[in-house]
Amino acid sequence: MTPSGRTRRSVLLAVLVLAIKPAAARAQDFDLVPGMFVGTPDGPQELAIYTERTLIGRLKPPRMALDDAQMVAGDVRVLCNLPLFRLRSIWLSTRRVFEDDSAERRPLRVARRRLTVTAVFAQVVDSTDPVRWRKLLEAVGASADNPAYVFVTMENDGQVRDFVVGVDLAAALAR
């Protein structure tokens, strides 16, 4: 190849890279902290409480107190940014799920949006409709003595973690 041919090829490659790079850069313009976060009125809060499962799929009680779970009143929005984990499902139940395998559970409809290779934003569609949300809370038997929780299930090659988000029942029913 002649020197002028190499120059033309280099210029074409540079133009191609400059044309592609802005689109890729827009998707990666921000760095996200690894972790699980839930949107609250006070801003995003990290989800530190999660449960694991036994070999037969039963939920193990979390190592931290469930009373310390981040609370939401209504609209449940979660940022999942755990490398090597994928969002499997989001479901609703009560504290009873740790004691009784037959405790009511309800899968929740979720709108997902991939932000980066490892990050996914998920919004629980059912929580945006106060009437539907109230019916779901009643269906799982949520009460002051049996609080409701949203479980965000993440999976990595057979390892399953259910991150716990508390539901502020009084505020949810007042909506």
* Closest by CA position to 25, among listed 14, 33, 17: 17
For 31-70, the pLDDT digits (tens) are: 788 999 999 888 899 999 999 988 888 899 898 999 899 9
For 77-116, the pLDDT digits (tens) are: 999 999 999 999 999 999 999 988 899 999 999 999 999 9
pTM: 0.81
| Res 25 pLDDT > 50 | no
d(CA 37, CA 121): 10
Residue 169: its H or E element: helix 169-174
Pair of tokens at residue 8:
């033309």
Beta strand spans in the chain (E): 35-40, 43-46, 50-52, 71-72, 77-81, 86-94, 106-107, 110-114, 119-124, 148-156, 159-167
Domain residue ranges in the chain: 1-30, 33-174
Which residues are CB-contacts of 46 (< 8 A; sequence separation ≥ 6)?
35, 36, 37, 70
